[in-house]
Amino acid sequence: MRNRWLLNLGLVVLVGVLVLLAVSKRRVDKEPPAPPLTMLVPEQIESIRIERPDNERLVLQRQGENWLLIAPLQARANPFRVESLLRLATAPSELRLRADPDALSKYGLDQPKASVWFGQAEIQAGRQHPFKNARYVRYGETIHLIPTQYFTPGTYSYVNFINPRLFARDRAAVAFELPQLSLRRIDGTWVAQPQRENLTTESINEFVARWRRAQALYVERHTGKPVQARIRITFQADSGNAKAGENVLELGILSYKPELVLYRQDEGLNYHFTEDTGKKLLRITADAEEAAGKSGGK
């Protein structure tokens, strides 16, 4: 009898807990989302500027569907970094305070750590919240508290905004001139010089695909290191090109080990790849040769 009573009591407690959970969830579901930091529409933003006391001014400009880094140097911009930065415009604002002088000093906004400009709209970064992962920022005459990650891209160096891809995804190569190999696409078929018996259509297509996917570990300004060898890539001509030579990319090889470093003179940038990636970009039969070497050494 007592056991049955305890069982019934336990069921009542369980039902009560479930009811409380349901009510709590309903309250959370009904809680309105935090208002956005600004009413700016990211897709309509055409320019971005980042200014920091301890770093170079960074300027990004939209060009059609792409973004370009304009300052401190000119380069293709990393679209993922730019998209992350644009999310700052719609960051959820947990708190809104009037930006009077005392408040600016209290929240570290009298001397902003960084400023991000979307067109003419400026967002300044202040102190980190002492107990939560949030940062105080100023937009117009209002101080806001937003999740830290929304402003984080505004603290990046310009090198983080350089596109790590060696060349644009939509550029179609039709010829490669490497130190020990030349490839040219003739009537839809790749022809290698000098000719090699072990080259298959599949291996050549994979080699070309590696170059199309080539993405550097990081990119930096050219350091002045001398060029050891050169690579010349010719791309399919675009109907809109008006200047001769626009479809030829010349690369300088600065080092092979411990990294492959390629220099794009037209951009003044060095692209750093792992040594393994370097082998696969410079030797069309790298995989086969390495496999043969390993099996021969056993």
For the chain, 298 residues long, the average pLDDT of each consecutive 10-residue run is: 51 54 55 86 96 92 94 94 97 92 92 95 95 94 96 93 91 90 88 78 89 94 94 78 66 96 94 95 65 41
CA distance 86 to 69: 15
For residue 242, what pLDDT is reported? 38
For residue 287, what pLDDT is reported? 46
Taking the CA atoms of the chain, what radius of gyration do you get in angstroms?
A: 28
Q: Which residues contact 178 (CB under 8 A, 6 or more apart)?
A: 231, 282
CA dihedral sign of residues 196, 197, 202, 203: negative
**Residue 272 near residue 261 (C-beta atoms within 8 A):** yes
**Residue 146 near residue 152 (C-beta atoms within 8 A):** no
Residue closest to 278 by CA, chosen among 261, 295, 265: 261
Mapped onto helix, strand or coil, the DSSP state of residue 230 is strand
For residue 171, what pLDDT is reported? 86
Among all chains, which residue has been given the structure tokens 């529409």? Answer: 41
For residue 3, what pLDDT is reported? 52
pTM of the full structure? 0.77
Domain boundaries, the chain: 42-161, 173-293
CA distance 286 to 292: 10
